[in-house]
Amino acid sequence: MKKLMFFCCAMVISLISFNSHADLSGYDLEKRKIFSDFIFLPITGSDKQGSFLYTRYKKALSTPTNYATGWRSISLSLNPAAINSTEYNQFILDNGILDNRKNLIPADATLCQLSTEARRKISELGLVFTTVFLGGSYPKACSLVIRYYTTALSAQEKALVDYLTANSVISLSFRIEEQLSPAINVSFSEILFELNSLGALQKDSANNYQGPLSAVTYHAAQLPSSLFGEAGSLPISFKAWELFLNTFTLSGKILKVQLTSSNEFLSVPAVREEIINVNATL
């Protein structure tokens, strides 16, 4: 029995079938409808077709069943609380909603993770157990199967079911954001080096650069856009160009700047808006 216990406790089974990405590029987020337990995201060009995000979930336990000789199994699932609610059903009926039936939970979400306290409690019941994560099939977020070594209807099994029913034991956590503007990353020191090489900027021994506004702007606009944080052959964005020029001071028609450790790389973080934030233990 000790060998069996060591083997089972060390064994971790992971059948990850959930592979959803929160790609909202095809949705009109400005027209989203927000309710107490769900959000409806219409696809671009439609008010009726789209996908649902669910803000609140509830736990469901299955009836324990036989899994293998000496082994029993019980599953815990996290389902949207909105499903079949009056508000949810009425919204669909009143608006003729066509649900795309997609799980938009991002791939980096925490899904049906069994808490440390629950693991400790199950061990205290004297049960050898393993857990198996199963991805959700819409609208279910996820499931967690607990397989344990005991006989049917044993006192240990009853105590396990009672504990899982009465306590918060599995967690669900994810956040989805809309990017309102991208991050800006300008390699200022490299740009100054290039402009100095082209003769548009002059440099002294104290890392002071200066040059005519017209020459600096003309030659800078010809530089690879990757120096301004753009990918591939994309043109320099207005915000990156603005950040670049605003780092200089203008004296007459001459641009001046001192290169220091604080401005050799210019960066502005992306601006994001939170669409949904779910963080629950059920």
pLDDT per position as a tens digit, 167-220? 999 999 999 998 888 899 999 999 999 999 999 999 999 999 999 999 999 999
Q: Please check whether residues 249 and 150 belong to one and the same domain.
A: no
Whether residue 39 contacts residue 275, with contact meaning beta carbons closer than 8 Å, is answered with yes
Residue 2: per-residue pLDDT: 35
Q: Please check whether residues 132 and 175 belong to one and the same domain.
A: yes
Segment 234-240 mean pLDDT: 91
Residue 225 is classified by DSSP as G
Q: Please check whether residues 119 and 199 belong to one and the same domain.
A: no
Cα 114 to chain centroid, rounded: 20
In a domain, 85, yes or no: yes
Q: Which residues pair with 145 in a beta bridge?
A: 75, 132
Whether residue 227 contacts residue 242, with contact meaning beta carbons closer than 8 Å, is answered with no
Segment 58-80 mean pLDDT: 96
Q: Please check whether residues 41 and 149 belong to one and the same domain.
A: yes
Residue 4: per-residue pLDDT: 34
In a domain, 100, yes or no: yes
Q: Which of 6-10, 150-154, 276-280 has the lowest mean pLDDT?
A: 6-10
Domain that holds residue 200: 188-264
Q: Please check whether residues 252 and 232 belong to one and the same domain.
A: yes
In a domain, 270, yes or no: no
Please determine, for residue 113, whether its predicted confidence score (pLDDT) is greater than 90.
yes
- CA distance linking residue 99 with residue 39, whole number of Å: 12
Q: Please check whether residues 49 and 99 belong to one and the same domain.
A: yes
In a domain, 104, yes or no: yes
Q: Please check whether residues 119 and 255 belong to one and the same domain.
A: no
In a domain, 13, yes or no: yes
Q: Please check whether residues 10 and 149 belong to one and the same domain.
A: yes
- CA distance linking residue 225 with residue 187, whole number of Å: 10
pLDDT tier for residue 17 given thresholds of 50, 70 and 90: very low
Compute φ and ψ for 229, nearest 5 degrees: 85, 10
In a domain, 194, yes or no: yes
pLDDT tier for residue 11 given thresholds of 50, 70 and 90: very low
Q: Provide long-range contacts, Cβ within 8 A and 24+ apart, for 232-239.
A: 237/182, 237/184, 239/181, 239/184, 239/268
Q: Please check whether residues 9 and 67 belong to one and the same domain.
A: yes
In a domain, 84, yes or no: yes
pTM equals 0.74
Share of the chain above pLDDT 70, in %: 93
Q: Please check whether residues 57 and 103 belong to one and the same domain.
A: yes
Closest CA to 282 of 143, 176, 160, 146: 143
Q: Please check whether residues 137 and 100 belong to one and the same domain.
A: yes
pLDDT tier for residue 144 given thresholds of 50, 70 and 90: very high
Angstrom CA distances, 167 to 76, 93, 164, 257, stand at 12, 35, 6, 62
- Say which residue, 6 or 65, is predicted with more confidence: 65
In a domain, 203, yes or no: yes
In the chain, how many domains are there?
A: 2
Whether residue 185 contacts residue 267, with contact meaning beta carbons closer than 8 Å, is answered with yes
Q: Please check whether residues 26 and 108 belong to one and the same domain.
A: yes
